[in-house]
Structure 1
Amino acid sequence: MARFTEELNQWMRIAEQRIEGKLREMDAVVDHNQWKVIDAFQKHQVSDFHFANSTGYAYNDRGREVLDLVYADVFGAEAALVRPHFASGTHTISTALFGVLRPGDELFYITGRPYDTLHKVIGKQGDGSGSLQDFGITYREAALTSDGGIDWDAVEAGISETTKVIGIQRSRGYDWRSSFSVSQIGEMIARIKRINPELIVFVDNCYGEFTEEIEPTDVGAD
């Protein structure tokens, strides 16, 4: 047992040495994002006052308002909506999509089929469920290439006059592909905007927050 333990410890030390460089990179990302959050708190002068209870209808709730400002700064966005009422990521995504899409518009996912939980949000036309397609919003998707990249031929051929929102899922989800980096997403956005600068590029950044020093909103995501 003692020999087994020593051998195991040796393999652990070897493994730690091999990943030491990557761990330092991760620590640097953590430190950068930690300071980014602290800077936002300092910029908006967050204090114990903002954590006080509000009453009535919560009009002029400074704690809520400053939280939105902090999130917007941290994620490089024009504005933010941070509420405990969003029950899940799917709830949040559906709120965003229903907010910008109207009957006759099209949602086009260029990273293949999204998470299973979004399928009911997209729905089917006339299904009576209150889904996007039930409200006359059409849906299209372009499968990824065999190496996990964007099929730009399919994307360019698929974008039409009714296409309003381009959907990008950053995380691999339940697929075998790699998750997309912010740099890759930036390249996608730039190419989409060259095709049609009026298209809204929506990025599902689930599981991607703070994994790099910048976010999709820093590279043009709407």
Structure 2
Amino acid sequence: MNWITTLPQRLQDLIPQVDQQIQPQLAIIDQRIDDNQAKVLQAFQDQQLAETHLNGTTGYGNNDLGREVLDAMYAQIFKAEAALVRPQFVSGTHTLAVGLFGCLLPGQKLLYLTGKPYDTMQQVIGIAGDGRGSLKEYGVKFRYQPLTDAGTVDFDHLTATLQEFAPDVVAIQRSRGYDPRPSFTVQQIAQLIAFVRQILPNVIVFVDNCYGEFAETQEPTEVGADLMGGSLIKNAGAGLALTGGYLVGRQDLIERAAIHLTAPGIGSDGGATGSNLRAMIEGLFLAPQVTGNAIKGAIFAAALLTQLGFQVTPQWDEPRTDLIQTILLGSPEKMVQFARAIQKYSPVDSFVTPEPSMMDGYVDPIIMAAGTFVQGSTIELSADGPLRPPYALYLQGGLSYAHVRIALAHACAEIL
């Protein structure tokens, strides 16, 4: 039986139309998958990954050849001098925090170029929460450059800020996070970096690459970023990595970050990979395909939801630079209803009813649907958002395109 026949007639009629409508965009993503897969395969070949590299180490993690090969493959794929890929990173936020603490000394200055940082990063910086252990407590001065009403960089005002504030590190958040503004493409990031370097040639450029890996065929480290980080339970882990994060960039900045992750005198030489190494390596190999599946699912979601009268961003035919599909629902009640529908059509905990609640690192109650195999994995299909205006739900992930189609269609049937 065709699964579509179990849906209301309106959706039975609409889904084939949507499939036909988005086919040109899906073809673009398929080509991108091929290009990224070729790049990843080349790194596996060049670094001579062997079966013995799949076995992790214990204790101190000394002489972990598999860890060294994994670092080298990340550095090659992201065209960086060095990489730090570790299961000891507990989240994307932790990874980014280690990177920033490695870049900044007490009394130095950090400027976010892309508006107010993502909720959890606000506590790392010290502009939210009690400030304990934050960059602010360590004496780092912080500003962020507000974006225009259209969500773009205001270059005229940025010039004045760069000259007056004179930051030591500038940060770029590639993805929209919990903000309806557009995500920044690699081309836009390249233009922004070039603009900043005209004014401050020696400034360190740090990029939060969460949700962005393999969404395009170039990465920010290829266009001037000095240090970049992300989570392995997002794109780069492909749903196989059980934990961890990565930093890639300049050799000196990677080693400074490694010292903050471990300790002076240990740096990148320590840290056992245990039973995580095989999944981290295999996840990297599958990352282009899985990321492409998720983006194709987001395109399908945008087209279908638009046809059903919902506001979405980006539109189905807009360029994609990350996984996130924003659905503007207009009320907390509709957010909760939609999230519960996504949870119902998840492979794990489908019987669970999500409730809004406070979560560590966030300042507003969060509704989260995440029936995932890995806790909090946003490369798997999930929907979440803070219960605050404009009451936007952020749909992301999907290990297979088929699952996104089935789950979303049934979720739409639930809320119509």
Fold conserved (TM > 0.5)? yes
1:167 aligns with 2:178: no
Instruction: In structure 1, list runs of 5 or more residues that go unmatched.
Output: none
| Identity within the alignment, % | 51
Tell me which residue corresponds to 1:217: 221
Tell me which residue corresponds to 2:37: 34
**In 2, Cα distance between equivalents of 1:137 and 1:190:** 25
Q: 2:193 aligns with which of 189, 196, 205?
A: 189
Q: Look up the SS of the partner of 1:129 in the other structure.
A: coil
Q: Look up the SS of the partner of 2:168 in the other structure.
A: strand
**In 2, Cα distance between equivalents of 1:7 and 1:155:** 49
Tell me which residue corresponds to 1:83: 86
**In 1, Cα distance between equivalents of 2:219 and 2:125:** 26
**In 2, Cα distance between equivalents of 1:6 and 1:102:** 61
Tell me which residue corresponds to 2:77: 74
**In 2, Cα distance between equivalents of 1:55 and 1:196:** 44
Structure 1 position 9, deviation (Å): 4.0
Q: Look up the SS of the partner of 1:81 in the other structure.
A: strand
Q: How many residues matched?
A: 218
Q: Look up the SS of the partner of 2:49 in the other structure.
A: coil
Structure 1 position 63, deviation (Å): 0.4
Deviates further, 55-64 or 205-214: 55-64
CA, structure 1 residues 176+5, in 2 after alignment: closer, same or farther (shift >3 Å)? closer
Which amino acid is the alignment partner of residue 68 of structure 1? D
Tell me which residue corresponds to 2:54: 51
Q: Look up the SS of the partner of 1:133 in the other structure.
A: coil
Q: 2:121 aligns with which of 112, 118, 121?
A: 118
Tell me which residue corresponds to 2:338: none
**In 2, Cα distance between equivalents of 1:47 and 1:202:** 33
Tell me if the contact between 1:105 and 1:162 (Cα under 8 Å) persists in the aligned partners. no
**In 2, Cα distance between equivalents of 1:121 and 1:60:** 32
Structure 1 position 57, deviation (Å): 2.5
Instruction: In structure 2, list runs of 5 or more residues that go unmatched.
Output: 227-416
Tell me if the contact between 2:119 and 2:178 (Cα under 8 Å) persists in the aligned partners. no
Q: Look up the SS of the partner of 1:168 in the other structure.
A: strand
TM-score (norm 1): 0.92
Q: 1:19 aligns with which of 17, 22, 28?
A: 22
Structure 1 position 17, deviation (Å): 1.2
Structure 1 position 10, deviation (Å): 4.1
**Please, what is the CA RMSD of the aligned residues?**
1.9
CA, structure 1 residues 78+12, in 2 after alignment: closer, same or farther (shift >3 Å)? same
